[in-house]
Amino acid sequence: MGKDMNLKSFGTRMTPMLLFLCFSTLCVLLPQTQAIWIELPNSGPKCISEEIHSNVVVLGDYFLFSDNTQPDHLTVAATVTSPYGNTLHHTDNTTHGQFAFTTAETGTYLACFTLGGNKPANATNLILDWKIGISTKDWDSVAKKEKIEGVELEIRKLEDSVEVIHAFLDYLKEKEESMHEASEKTNAKVAHYTFVSLGVCILVGALQVWHLKRFFQKKKLI
């Protein structure tokens, strides 16, 4: 009886600890949402990239910030493209903007910003708030709509986080398999070219020996 009570007590103490460890792991694995401070040069674009898999919601909010020039005198051209070069967002001569899309392709998405208008002597800063995946979800609206709060809401967040991590792990697994397949094909081609090169070297060596032998025979040296 005493052992059963001790085991039960131990399990009760371990449950919060396991939840804490799981939550800590999720916090480490999931990308943190924060604004990106970008310094725009006076000439040419400044680009940032993010590798995202398909069927992921992406939200972006950007605006110019400068201490030396009035915001009305500054503009920026923004372009967001997919891994295959499709334009997902484009604006010209603006001081702030937003973009939103759901990824249809897996790969590197590129956001480029080019400064326009009355360019200052010093570099101008742009603040970009780029949210991806679960970070785009409005949990306040979800809680009001489904009438959940407290622990239930936190569990719902953890469930969505687990789904995101699972999808990301599947993506990494597929990428690893494709890289392994490409590596095997490359190794097979290298081995094929090696054998061909070795055969050519042996053939050339045999022809040289045959030519030298005929040359020496003609000169009656052998």
Mean pLDDT across 107-126: 81
Specify the 3-state DSSP secondary structure of 172. Answer: helix
Distance from C-alpha of 43 to C-alpha of 10, rounded to nearest angstrom? 64
Res 112: pLDDT: 94
Residue 148's contacts (CB-CB under 8 Å, 6 or more residues apart) are 142, 156
pLDDT in tens, 185-194: 999 999 999 9
Please say whether the structural domain 33-136 has been given the CATH code 3.40.50.360: no
CA distances from 140 to 44, 98, 161 (A): 40, 21, 16
Which residues are CB-neighbours of 218 under 8 A, at least 6 positions away?
Answer: none
Strands 74-81 and 87-94: antiparallel
Of all residues in the chain, the percent with pLDDT exceeding 70 is 76
| Geometric angle at alpha carbon 100, from 97 and 102, rounded to 5° | 160
pLDDT for 6 equals: 45
Q: Which of 31-45, 166-180, 201-215 has the lowest mean pLDDT?
A: 31-45
Residue 82: band (very low, low, confident or very high) from pLDDT cuts 50, 70, 90: very high
If DSSP codes are grouped into helix, strand and coil, which group holds residue 47? Answer: strand
- Digit-coded pLDDT (tens) for 8-30: 443 444 444 444 444 444 443 44
Residue 73: which pLDDT band, with cuts at 50, 70 and 90? confident
Hey, where are the domains in the chain? 33-136
Pairing of β 57-65 and β 96-102: antiparallel
pLDDT at 76 over 80: yes
66 or 76, greater pLDDT: 76
The stretch 78-86 carries a mean pLDDT of 92
Q: Residue 106's pLDDT band (boundaries 50, 70, 90)? A: confident
C-alpha 167/C-alpha 55 separation (Å) is 10
pLDDT of amino acid 30: 44
**What are residue 117's DSSP bridge partners?**
74
